[in-house]
Amino acid sequence: MDYLKVYEEWLHDEFLDEDTKKELEAIKDDEEEIKDRFYKSLEFGTAGLRGKIGAGTNRMNKYNVMKTTQALANTIKSYGEEAMQRGVSISYDVRKFSKEFAEIAANVLASNDIKVYLSDQIRPTPLLSYSIRKFNTISGIMITASHNPKEYNGYKAYWEEGSQILEDKAAEILNNLNEINHFKEVKIGDFDKLVADEKIIYFGKNLDKDYFEDVLNLAINDENVDKEVKIVYTPLNGTGNEFVRHILDEREFKNVYVVSEQENPDSNFTTVPYPNPENPEAFEYAEKLGYEVGADLLLATDPDADRTAVEVFDGKKYVFLDGNKIGALLTNYILSQRYEKKNLPENSVIVKSIVTGDLSSKIAHKYGVEVVETLTGFKNICGKANEYEITKEKSWIFGYEESIGYSYGTFVRDKDAVNSSMMISEMLGFYKKQGKTLIDVLNELYEEFGYHENKLVSVVLEGLDGQEKISRIMTEFRKNPLKEIGSIKLVNVKDYDVNYEEYNTQRSNVLIYYYDDGSWYAVRPSGTEPKIKLYVYSVAKSKEEAEKKVLDIEKTAKEKMLSVE
């Protein structure tokens, strides 16, 4: 793409508003900034759109939202009148321009004679997934950039099952998007008139009420749960506040303390510039309050409340439990308790991603439950729930991935921080009633199944140069794998870009290297951020040995990664 030519076209386009033109005029002497904004179009795929907010082809703005929504509308129209009447459900989070982008999307769809259900306020992503199934819509849109910094926003596209679109649907929408040459081709009308004509219908508290009822019905234990446990909760200025607090209140947890500085919506994320609870730094304010009130558990949800993170008090300090640990604990809790109550269905399965740890597989095996692996992302994890709903071949119990996403039950086909917050709190209270912390339970699992340690390393490489370097790193790992790391030897390689059919998955740029002691690591470019990720896993007879192995693998693999010019 000739970025200077495209920049000039935008600058002089009569269709664009004056604010957009002023923003572009302000960067006329900054070629690097022009290049970054215009060297490519913001990519649409299974993760929808995500990027920095601003004017340009490679930015999140109302024009790119308009074009993408017109492409979605054209896709829906190709399915006929029934699909158009079923309509599209739309919601949004706390980010800058989220409400505006949601209303623009609603306007475009309604102007294309497609029925729209629009959230009347900010809502968590799992509520959007839930609404698709509840209203029986053909599709859904969530305006969110999840846990990205404040400069970002995004557009997640869903299909009728309630899960994010897969490759086939993304390709249909992208084909239609590529056929739209100019914003003038987008149908857009008078928003207020479309609402008055009931082509756009708002939804709200009634949907929330049904959702809460379904979440509460997931409870496994209640009478034998200590409801006096002390929980500090932070929604990180996102959508979780009202929803998580309501569900914990309904479960009668009596001591829930909310971090006041992070309680209310704040698109600037003033106290947490990178609102990603996967990073322990996000717990700074929660820890302070935790020590003040003597909390057993610190709970954090990301801005669109689909991901949940946890810190547990070990008697001296708060210890961060990553997604692998919480996923293993939830797997153990759900399966052990349902096994004991004799209500585990036949052919039960746990579903996890290929870059998620193996401890849950060993736990599941103990209870006669199969573990199915998918590519990363809940579109793939919940894709299995969609599949089993049709085939009746298996019963989907619980799905999770290491990046702090969990979902129990099938009425939401995405990760769900509201549901997860309830189950984690129930699990905490259940074990506290027995005099155990979650760390005690985790150590019991390690004693039984071996010590499992892991680490995620992310290397950020922004812009066109960064994208090209990520490609070179993946090529280097493919051509020259690490055959030995200390005393451990490489025994198997899985390349999901080349041999994906062998693994019964879609194609994906992921490499996994397995060693003779059960340790492994994976390398993959992020699908939503300008970074390459290194996932390191070890298993050993002691915690110290497992931790040392992780450090050795990390050091060797990262050195190789950084040596690539």
CA-CA distance, 399 to 385, in Å (whole number)? 9
Inter-residue contact 6 to 37 (CB < 8 Å): no
In order, the DSSP letters of 479-526 are HS---EETTEEEEEEEETTTSGGGGTS-----EEEEETTS-EEEEEE-
Rg (the chain; Cα; Å): 24
Residues listed for the chain: 565
Contacts (Cβ under 8 Å, ≥6 apart) of 370: 347, 348, 349, 350, 364, 394
Contacts (Cβ under 8 Å, ≥6 apart) of 326: 308, 309, 310, 400, 404, 406, 424
CA-CA distance, 160 to 139, in Å (whole number)? 5
Q: Which helix (H) or strand (E) holds 558?
A: helix 543-563
In order, the DSSP letters of 237-294 are TSSHHHHHHHHHHHTT--EEEE-GGGSS--TT-TT-SS--TTSGGGGHHHHHHHHHHT
Neighbours of 502 (CB within 10 A): 10
Q: Which helix (H) or strand (E) holds 321?
A: strand 318-321
Q: Is 146 a catalytic residue?
A: yes
In order, the DSSP letters of 24-61 are HHTTTT-HHHHHHHHSSPPPPBTTBEEEEBSSSTTSB-
| Coil, strand or helix at 372 | strand
One of 89, 91, 129, 146 is an active-site residue; which one? 146
307 secondary structure, DSSP code: -
Task: Identify the bridge partners of residue 230 per DSSP, sorted by sequence position.
Answer: 255
Inter-residue contact 87 to 114 (CB < 8 Å): yes
- Annotated catalytic residues are 146
